[in-house]
């Protein structure tokens, strides 16, 4: 909702399509608020409800599996036009199906973003057995953060009063994305960074543990 409200208000050229899966019509969160946004923005927001229980509100009955995702996106013409962005959020099984559908249509990783709310399976492991110094470059200043064994860079920074940006803390939103300028880290998997971001040296401070002295930059 915050993404839709913000972009529709700020960018008059923005168009958003939402394929929204719920169990029943009664389970649709923000149902009335979404309807108001649709009416307010005159074709710039389209919402299609996929419900497991039949209802007049449903554009399609079933779950958001690979076939249903593609059928809904094709109905919206979502693969047409210039470089549309795709954002996936929901239970892991649904996200895997949606991502497989998009990857099957050759949507590049740079145009596919996700938000997950489960802790990466190995985020509690890795890292060094000794405290490691991490220099955090933030707003033009350098802050020394000593990361004790078992802590992530973000956890150590918070403990020591360094105000790094963050949100979900489980590797799912990229709010804590920083560039690793030097050193090596153990990066918890899975996480929401795409291959290009990783190749460019980005890590997520909330699921990264230093393997030695490091320098990271908050851009």
29 alpha carbon, distance to own chain's centre: 20
Tokens of 211: 């393997």
What pLDDT score was predicted for residue 124?
45
**Predicted TM-score of the model (pTM):** 0.63
d(CA 148, CA 186): 14
Domains of the chain: which residue ranges? Answer: 2-115, 132-217
Average pLDDT, rounded, for the chain: 91
Within this chain, domains 2-115 and 132-217 share the same CATH topology: no
Helix (H) or strand (E) holding 208: strand 208-210
CA distances from 30 to 49, 189, 196 (A): 12, 31, 34
Question: What angle, rounded to 10 degrees, do the helices at 66-76 and 92-104 form?
Answer: 60
Mean pLDDT, to the nearest integer, of 108-132?
Answer: 75
Architecture of domain 2-115: 3-Layer(aba) Sandwich (3.40)
Alpha helices in 46-152 (DSSP H): 66-76, 92-104
Q: Which two tokens stand for residue 62?
A: 């079933």
| 132-217: CATH number | 3.10.20.30
Average pLDDT of the residues in 38-61 = 94
């Amino acid at each position: 909702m915050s993404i839709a409200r913000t972009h529709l208000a700020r960018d008059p050229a923005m168009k958003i399509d939402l394929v929204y899966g719920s169990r029943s019509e009664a389970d649709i969160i923000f149902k009335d608020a979404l309807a108001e946004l649709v009416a307010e923005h005159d074709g710039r927001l389209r919402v299609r409800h996929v419900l497991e229980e039949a209802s007049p509100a449903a554009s399609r009955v079933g779950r958001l599996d690979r076939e249903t995702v593609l059928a809904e996106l094709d109905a919206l013409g979502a693969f047409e036009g210039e470089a549309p962005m795709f954002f996936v959020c929901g239970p892991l099984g649904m996200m895997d199906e949606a991502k497989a559908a998009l990857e099957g249509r050759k949507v590049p990783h740079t145009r596919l973003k996700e938000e997950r709310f489960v802790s990466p399976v190995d985020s509690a492991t890795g890292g060094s057995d000794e405290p490691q110094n991490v220099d955090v470059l933030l707003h033009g200043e350098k802050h020394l953060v000593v990361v004790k064994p078992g802590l992530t860079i973000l956890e150590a920074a918070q403990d020591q009063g360094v105000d790094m940006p963050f949100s979900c803390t489980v590797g799912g939103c990229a709010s804590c994305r920083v560039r690793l300028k030097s050193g090596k880290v153990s990066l918890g998997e899975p996480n929401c960074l795409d291959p290009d971001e990783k190749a460019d040296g980005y890590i997520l401070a909330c699921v990264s543990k230093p393997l030695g002295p490091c320098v990271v930059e908050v851009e």
